[in-house]
Structure 1
């Protein structure tokens, strides 16, 4: 690896992030790259509010791609394709020193393939790996044709890319590891976590379709749990744009939750929680890092469920299980997502059972499993971006 880039030579970096989570990753990367390059850098591309605060003028509002549902995607397909073609053309025309695509593979990888075909000398970094380890594993090998390096959020992903003969992949760290201090209880919060009645979190999802599929079965489950003489304090964290939908659907629940809105309120709830009933997804890793035992569930529409069953190739869809490497968190998917099965599992994790103890022991290993040493994820990502940039310049 060569020395630091000359701060007197301005670098042009093109970034593409079309979702809020990717926008946050992009903004953090931009901040570190500016520090590394002494300010001698110019950013172009696509991003949201966080990247705008770091100086990016997005080609178009990323909200235009916030499309949910197959019918809506089909209806908006011409607009989506226009954005893909225009973004790829902008990259080749501006000829940046490097292109960084961030998550959203259905959009960003289509752009990357066009850029590689039209301007093969531009190095391409993929920040956030597609789930090649879970489904469509052939994507990993195909990515070798248009991605020079993958920046992974999960520690097991580099080995999966080696096994699947994909492009070079490095673990840079998940953004959640920088939030551990906000997720874990202080002394007083730990007292509340251990007191009766236990605080039970219910997390039905962050999309309207998830709210629609989960709220009825979750509500019935919690009513039955209370009828089994299991007292608990119920808290439901959600986001502002879902508050009305959630409030409407909990109005007929037999147990009324305290609804809290926003990231800070959610983290405060995590710090006092004794257990959780959660929709499978990233939140399972967040709960595990917080030390909150959980039961997970997932229901989807018939078409989506059929697709998932046809393509999935892992023995768990729970992110916490995948990172830990063992199935310590029970999961109740589709036809198994019923009160008859959820209630007994929740009774176990609310009491000092072997299942609860096993989860807590496994969660305690996460700090070591997900460690990035003393270097935060954004810094590790920036170092690889700059190393790839220097290598490409040296080859030209």
Structure 2
């Protein structure tokens, strides 16, 4: 039985199903909750996944009665079907409520959690509680098994989906050719975020930093990848920067410019991991409302918000958060990354270490995840 609560979980679940079928020596039957990708591979979802794929209080609160009905429906399905194993996938606010109740009503069924909630960042007590209802965690980040071992939870590192979204070799050269960027021109990749509020807080500061850098480096080229729902906002903002900027769209173009880039200025988030895997030296920045800044500085239990730094367990990537997120600070951080300096060479060596720790070039995350599930099964 598999339970996914949103689109990203549906994609992970589908990949896991493919790998389980490929590796299992006995026929497998699937049941549970999934979206179109999982349904295409044989799950008849017991209700539409869209019923629970909601985000933020404005969406969640009006739908709480339906969500709780779906929780109990999922639990009843597990008790009635008596699956040999249950895999809950991401969406912890839903899937962990399901897992706790299955563990109480069907205590003999092993429950696997695919994608650890960020308990290492905050609510660390929740990690200790997981050992009461989770048999094994499949981790996306290489430091997570070390953390969970300290609280007595079985955890296997399987790898992050970003490992399978690396730029195609040579795509960076072709990108530069298409956009008329010479091979030796410094190319700055600017990533102000994928959420509207995020972009609003950062795009002006990023523009100020880019203008200052451009004045220092006349040959600097700037590229901004944009997802569709924030592209109009980014294009309107970039038009005020007073310089030539290429705004590109689409996953293929994004990966290609990752391969072409000299350095990147990016909003804090998973993109730092994608940049690291593409060997792009970076500076990470973030600015938000005052209450969010207070939360980040006072509640988070980690020394850095940059996944690269957490994986390496040292401050490799410079991060400029909240009051430190200024154009002058960002320029100081980026300047040594845009030419052949000792700092840039050290940054690239660190990114190679990240790639090694994450298993780039080895077995796929889906294959590792399937092995970890089949061991319990």
TM-score w.r.t. structure 1 length? Answer: 0.86
In 2, are the aligned partners of 1:219 and 1:255 still within 8 Å (CA)?
Answer: no
Aligned to 1:365: 353
Matched, 1:53 2:40: yes
Distance in 2 between residues matched to 1:312 and 1:242, nearest whole Å: 28
1:249 to partner: Cα distance: 3.6
Aligned to 1:224: 212
- Deviations along 1:131-183, whole A, 9 cap, x unmatched? 22222111221000000001111112111111122x21111122222334x35
Aligned to 2:165: 179
Query: Relative to structure 1, is the Cα distance of residues 206 and 187 closer, same or farther in structure 2, using a 3 angstrom cutoff?
Result: closer
The total of aligned residue pairs comes to 374
Matched, 1:314 2:302: yes
Tell me the secondary structure at the aligned position of residue 363 of structure 1.
helix
In 2, are the aligned partners of 1:98 and 1:124 still within 8 Å (CA)?
Answer: yes
Distance in 2 between residues matched to 1:224 and 1:49, nearest whole Å: 47
In 2, are the aligned partners of 1:184 and 1:290 still within 8 Å (CA)?
Answer: no
Bigger CA drift: 329-338 or 354-363?
354-363
Bigger CA drift: 193-202 or 269-278?
193-202
In 1, are the aligned partners of 2:21 and 2:28 still within 8 Å (CA)?
Answer: yes
Gaps of 5+ in 1: 1-13, 390-396
Query: Relative to structure 1, is the Cα distance of residues 80 and 194 closer, same or farther in structure 2, using a 3 angstrom cutoff?
Result: farther
1:188 to partner: Cα distance: 4.0
- The equivalences for 1:1-396 within 5 A come to 14-37=1-24, 40-165=27-152, 167-180=153-166, 182=167, 185=170, 188=173, 195-371=183-359, 374-389=362-377
Tell me the secondary structure at the aligned position of residue 267 of structure 1.
helix
Query: Relative to structure 1, is the Cα distance of residues 245 and 286 closer, same or farther in structure 2, using a 3 angstrom cutoff?
Result: same
Distance in 1 between residues matched to 2:30 and 2:244, nearest whole Å: 48
Query: Relative to structure 1, is the Cα distance of residues 190 and 353 closer, same or farther in structure 2, using a 3 angstrom cutoff?
Result: farther
Query: Relative to structure 1, is the Cα distance of residues 305 and 47 closer, same or farther in structure 2, using a 3 angstrom cutoff?
Result: farther
In 1, are the aligned partners of 2:142 and 2:157 still within 8 Å (CA)?
Answer: yes
Distance in 2 between residues matched to 1:66 and 1:250, nearest whole Å: 33
Distance in 2 between residues matched to 1:57 and 1:205, nearest whole Å: 35
Tell me the secondary structure at the aligned position of residue 364 of structure 1.
helix
Aligned to 1:7: none
Tell me the secondary structure at the aligned position of residue 97 of structure 2.
helix
Aligned alpha-carbon RMSD (Å): 2.5
TM-score w.r.t. structure 2 length? Answer: 0.90
Query: Relative to structure 1, is the Cα distance of residues 297 and 44 closer, same or farther in structure 2, using a 3 angstrom cutoff?
Result: same
Query: Relative to structure 1, is the Cα distance of residues 311 and 34 closer, same or farther in structure 2, using a 3 angstrom cutoff?
Result: same
Aligned to 1:4: none
Bigger CA drift: 346-355 or 287-296?
346-355
1:294 to partner: Cα distance: 0.6
Gaps of 5+ in 2: none
In 1, are the aligned partners of 2:248 and 2:254 still within 8 Å (CA)?
Answer: yes
1:318 to partner: Cα distance: 0.4
Aligned to 1:394: none
In 1, are the aligned partners of 2:136 and 2:155 still within 8 Å (CA)?
Answer: yes
